[in-house]
Structure 1
Amino acid sequence: MSLPKTLAEDVARNLVMVARLIDEDPEQAYAYSRIALRLASRVAAVREAAGFAAYATQKYSEALAEFRAAKRMTGSVELWPVMADCERGLGRPERALAMAGEAEVRKLDKAGQVEMRLVAAGARRDMGQLDAAIVTLQSSELASNAVHAWTPRLRYAYADALLAAGREDEAREWFGKALEADKDGVTDASDRLAELDGVEFVDAFVEDESDEGTADDERAARTEREDTGEETREDTGEDRPSEA
């Protein structure tokens, strides 16, 4: 609303493209975010979108700068967890842990607090503190039977931490719980369970293509022999026993 109409429309088009492409083509989404940033760098939504596009392309320093700018403009703390995760991406897990203890976390909604817990557990793992990571994830949200948008990822992270600590039976149980809650397929819990159970998947399509290629090769070889008159005994029937 703070921009002239034509400029606002141009910025909006670029932001729409960022949203559409950020999962399937993050580099292209990043390119669109840079255009929006050039057009309207003083708009918080543009700085936030630029931050997520940079984050998706692992440009963590740039992402952190954009998220900080958006936070200054809006006064909102909702970006706090992803800002902490940028610190992890920059190889500074201790800073991410420090952010997990700041007052901003208490201002987050439930989803934001769970996200912060996931980031903090990841930071513990970055530092080789597996047991601490497991304890960090243990919470009322993890113990609850209620399913929310963040439930599959929380259960999955807990299962993964247990597995990393060598607690395979518990990990299998929690991968199963993650799968039960994961109606939208946001995790690969089913694959992890299969891996733990020693199940191997065969790509039937690739196998069929291989078989078809072999048949094609055999047909081509037979045609070449026929064209050159070099038929095998099997082809001509030579040396076959005659019928009595």
Structure 2
Amino acid sequence: MPIPPEVTGEEIDPDVRQELMSLPKGLADDVARNLVMVAQLIDDEPEKAYEYSRVALRLASRVAAVREAAGFAAYATQKYSEALAEFRAARRMTGSVELWPVMADCERGLGRPERALAMAGEPEVQKLDRAGQVEMRLVAAGARRDMDQLDAAIVTLQSPELASSANHPWTARLRYAYADALLAAGREQEAREWFAKALEADKDGSTDASDRLAELDGVEFVDAFDESEGAEDDVRNEALADDAEDSEDSEDSEDAEGSEGDKS
């Protein structure tokens, strides 16, 4: 696949670059450029990111960072079976547990929430850093909801991280998930409070907490584009009405003149 000439591969994370040093330089540069494209496209154009990840995988399937990138690209396109296989391969290569939560979420994506819950109880979870443990909690709560266990999902999300007033990268998402679970359980007032707390922590707009709050408050948004189109239609209709009126007046005037002419 074509890669813009301004993408050099130097943009890659230094740790990944270190991994690629096991490859011949020309090959390492090609892999790096494809991985940069994956990183740049995965949020907005995941299908394209997936294609670049497949190129990198063909070039360097024995590099853990490549397998991980391929896993995330497959995950972003909801190819959960493929993503899980890539994450497992990366984990075998590195021995790291950091992919454990996303592997569990792949099990959810494959319709196996009970496996995700089983993974949440494995010793690997205790080896995760704090962010990873919060992520695992989110996945476990999601699995509970998949199984229609709303109360259990709410309890799963109740944690020191949720109660903390500190703002961490995971705070907004954790509060949002808790608010959403409360709302699903019919606890609307509590849900509103937690959507507000999620919005307070959401500095980069990673959730739609503001929209959810507006919905709960009964606020309706009007599309500015549609509104302007409606205004233009009104103006157009008024102009047509005026033209029709002028035409009628003109015809009446002509009729009147014609009548006077007949009398004479």
- For the criterion TM > 0.5, the same-fold answer is yes
SS of corresponding position for 1:232 = helix
Q: Which runs of 5+ in 2 are unaligned?
A: 1-20, 257-264
Query: Structure 1: how far apart are the matches of 2:242 and 2:57?
Result: 63
**Deviation at residue 210 of structure 1 after TM alignment:** 3.0
1:232 matched to 2:247: yes
1:113 pairs with one of 133, 139, 155: 133
1:233 to 1:42, Cα distance in 2 relative to 1, 3 A: same
1:38 matched to 2:53: no
**Deviation at residue 214 of structure 1 after TM alignment:** 5.1
Which amino acid is the alignment partner of residue 177 of structure 2? A
**Deviation at residue 9 of structure 1 after TM alignment:** 0.3
Aligned to 1:49: 69
Q: Counterparts in 2 of 1:10-49, with a 5 A limit? A: 10-49=30-69
Query: Structure 1: how far apart are the matches of 2:236 and 2:47?
Result: 40
**Deviation at residue 232 of structure 1 after TM alignment:** 2.1
Q: Deviations over 1:11-54 (max 9, x none)?
A: 00000000000011000000000000000000000000000000
Which amino acid is the alignment partner of residue 197 of structure 2? K
Q: Between Structure 1 and Structure 2, how many residues are aligned?
A: 235
Instruction: Give the 4+ runs in structure 1 shifted more than 6 A.
Output: 220-223
1:40 to 1:206, Cα distance in 2 relative to 1, 3 A: same
**Deviation at residue 236 of structure 1 after TM alignment:** 5.9
Aligned to 2:5: none
1:81 pairs with one of 81, 97, 101: 101
TM-score (norm 1): 0.91
1:205 pairs with one of 202, 225, 250: 225
Q: Counterparts in 2 of 1:21-170, with a 5 A limit? A: 21-170=41-190
- 8 Å Cα contact 1:142-1:154 kept in structure 2: yes
Query: Structure 1: how far apart are the matches of 2:197 and 2:68?
Result: 33
Which amino acid is the alignment partner of residue 74 of structure 1? T
**Deviation at residue 212 of structure 1 after TM alignment:** 2.0
Aligned to 1:196: 216
Q: Deviations over 1:199-223 (max 9, x none)?
A: 0000122210232245457768989
1:83 to 1:219, Cα distance in 2 relative to 1, 3 A: same
Aligned to 2:259: none
Q: Which runs of 5+ in 1 are unaligned?
A: 226-230
Query: Structure 1: how far apart are the matches of 2:158 and 2:251?
Result: 76
Query: Structure 1: how far apart are the matches of 2:249 and 2:81?
Result: 70
Q: Deviations over 1:100-157 (max 9, x none)?
A: 0001000000000000000000000000000000000000110011110000000000
- 8 Å Cα contact 1:233-1:239 kept in structure 2: no
Which amino acid is the alignment partner of residue 115 of structure 2? R
Q: Deviations over 1:146-189 (max 9, x none)?
A: 11000000000000000000000100000010011111111000
Query: Structure 1: how far apart are the matches of 2:156 and 2:26?
Result: 49
TM-score (norm 2): 0.84
